[in-house]
Amino acid sequence: MISLRGLGVALVTPFNSYGAIDTNALLKLVDHVVEGGVDYIVLFGTTGESPTVSLLEKQDALRLVSAHLNGKVPVVMGFGSNNTTQLIEEMNLFDFTGASAILSVMPYYNKPNQEGMYMHYKSIAEKAPLPVILYNVPGRTVVNMEPATTIRLANDCKNIIAIKEATDNMDQAMDLLHQKPAGFQMVAGDDALALPFIALGADGVISVIANAYPKEFSKMVHASLAGNFEEARRYHYLLLPIMHKLLNMGNPSGIKAVMHIKGLIEHVFRLPVHPVSEDKFKEIVDTVQLTEKSIA
């Protein structure tokens, strides 16, 4: 059973100038975050532009990355949809060899009620070949899964092992952490809230900023988990300006700009995701320079 304790990174998907997945950059990025101290990698979450990546591309990337890692850290596959039946069919077609779990986002656009959310995830869990991680992100899906629904799923579906809770509602986070069954894991989905979530009892975070600054963010997460909050706060506030800047730039437009500035990937997206404006890019350049100076 995969443990989500620590730092996971929602990996960006690097594309080349022709719009294809840049496999060389992808493997270099994997090495970059693993050497920086991440505990597991999430392929094709929202940060990885998953809606615009085909099933075949996801399959090829999983084979490539898992072979390259050779067990160094676990791989979690992003696998979500607002069509429950279609998602199950795609899971049946997919070869998950090399992956340790599935991260499945809340159905978007459909606006299901709490019972619809429950039945969606219950149906997935019954068919999934790997443990399932729920992903509640109201800012993207419009709807919010309430703690009672999450806890019901955790109790009823043994294959559902965790939730990525991307909410800024601290009352909701505390209710979930207080009431969840033993062994059910909760990780933050917002970089800036990782420290307070961990202080309240969360197991870690699935991060965006760790694409660019895995070493520093890893130190923050691991210090928090060890109860060393003085050190954790130091790294938290070191990265807070760039975390706030990226929050206002959109994801993954902001983080891919940072990655390009740092020379890690080409500055290429798939529509409808688009690069930030020239003025915003200059703002990111300034913030990266300040961050790099603070780290040095």
- Active-site positions? 135, 164
Instruction: Give yes or no for a contact between 151 and 173, defined as CB atoms under 8 angstroms apart.
Output: no
Tokens of 6: 């620590």
Give the DSSP letter string of 61-81. Answer: HHHHHHHHHTTSS-EEEE---
Could you tell me the sign of the dihedral formed by the alpha carbons of 156, 160, 166, 171, in that order? Answer: positive
Please give the backbone phi and psi of residue 201, each rounded to the nearest 5 degrees, phi first.
125, 5
Bridge partners of 172? none
Separation between Cα atoms, residue 85 and residue 206, nearest integer Å:
27
Using CA atoms, how far apart are residues 159 and 153, in angstroms rounded to an integer?
9
CA pair distance 46, 189, nearest whole angstrom: 11
